[in-house]
Structure 1
């Protein structure tokens, strides 16, 4: 799991990186907001630790931009003590905040807690149902139905659909999708993912030009837009 840390204090970045890597996380980092936004677009992290006060863009502005494209968990670091300022960050979409100075161990625990909450929202692996049963996936039978009618998918299309559907709202880069379909990337093949996505849309979308399930996130990749019907696996 990849965590992005954006903070203009190099020591804080180094300490958090060391503690998070000790827990098995992969960490990328940036020292200002613009660099951080570019890094997020390039790396597609699973979690964002964001300083509220940066020299170029505010943490609030970065949070707003990220939330327009992604639902990744965000933990804010702030030296601001005013309640209204902290609340503003939460209203913009941050999941929690830690006030500076802080214990690195506390940050790690906050990250782990938020991730546990976040992944409780994942859809079960064996039976997936979306939009009041319009799209269903029975992973045990490898069976996909749209409005009750079974559709035929290629192995790559099936892996793309189920891999994304298990994480509604998460943005997948083309490289992420290559990993889902277990294909080694080589020159030119990364863009072939777009062809598989186009073919998948023709099969699962009522109107492929206005997709409901397989959504393009411009400049970043794709995400699954269906609303889950079931919060837990069928018995």
Structure 2
């Protein structure tokens, strides 16, 4: 059973989320503040986190940062903050998706299912289970990236993007294809998502992120992986 941690201080919304999720056979824990959320995350090991940014004791961005210090669990932000820079800040901190309040329950459930799918194994094409470059080695089956003799942690969303690109070496993968595969049909125009995540991945993989050797941008079209 998929375990969901709901981090939200509005008791009415918490009740609605718990009822809807439990009716669909999710196991649900709820936390009214950031400190409780971090304790429950460590104790209960949720499969996905639904996180409000406006918590009474700390900003939700701090919760994301704390979680990302030890876990790659998918984090879906649920927030009334609609400014683009707020969304980018949450994604840059390590969130996997951003859902603006008010939202429909159907949309939330679809995004949640997509996030859970991203944590599962994505089968790479034959011959690309292990990819070695001059700077790092990627083991897609083990979900392990080693650079300079050290493991580099990627979030589930970063892994999904990397798997798609590495499984198509040298080929242009369009922005629309990446957005649809990773975030779903409704997000096919959210190109800022890709820019944020590609920047994060370059910081982790490239010697010089400003002049990438491996994760190449084709302006206005998409991205390529060059091994």
Same topology, TM > 0.5: yes
Residue 5 of structure 2 is matched in structure 1 by: 4
Separation in 1, partners of 2:3, 2:29: 7
Change beyond 3 A, Cα 1:167–1:28: farther
Which consecutive unaligned segments of at least 5 residues does structure 2 have? 133-139, 154-161, 168-227
Instruction: Report the Cα offset of residue 115 of structure 1.
Output: 2.2
Residue 64 of structure 2 is matched in structure 1 by: 63
- SS where residue 42 of structure 2 aligns? helix
Separation in 2, partners of 1:44, 1:122: 22
Structure 1 residues 30-75: Cα deviation after superposition (integer angstroms, max 9, x where no partner): 0010000000000011101000110101110000111121111110
CA RMSD of aligned residues (A): 3.6
**Residues 1:113 and 2:77 aligned together:** no
Count of residue correspondences: 153
Within 5 Å, which residues of 2 pair with 1:69-218?
69-116=70-117, 118-119=118-119, 121-122=121-122, 132=132, 168=143
Residue 39 of structure 1 is matched in structure 2 by: 40
- SS where residue 75 of structure 1 aligns? strand
- SS where residue 94 of structure 1 aligns? coil
Change beyond 3 A, Cα 1:128–1:40: farther
CA contact (8 A) 1:5 1:49 kept: yes
- SS where residue 55 of structure 2 aligns? coil
TM-score (norm 1): 0.54
Instruction: Report the Cα offset of residue 81 of structure 1.
Output: 1.8
Separation in 2, partners of 1:10, 1:40: 19
- SS where residue 86 of structure 1 aligns? helix
Change beyond 3 A, Cα 1:131–1:38: farther
- SS where residue 66 of structure 1 aligns? helix
Instruction: Report the Cα offset of residue 129 of structure 1.
Output: 5.2
Which consecutive unaligned segments of at least 5 residues does structure 1 have? 133-164, 170-209, 216-226
Structure 1 residues 192-225: Cα deviation after superposition (integer angstroms, max 9, x where no partner): xxxxxxxxxxxxxxxxxx9869x9xxxxxxxxxx
**Structure of higher RCO (CA pairs closer than 8 Å, 6+ residues apart):** 1
Residue 198 of structure 2 is matched in structure 1 by: none
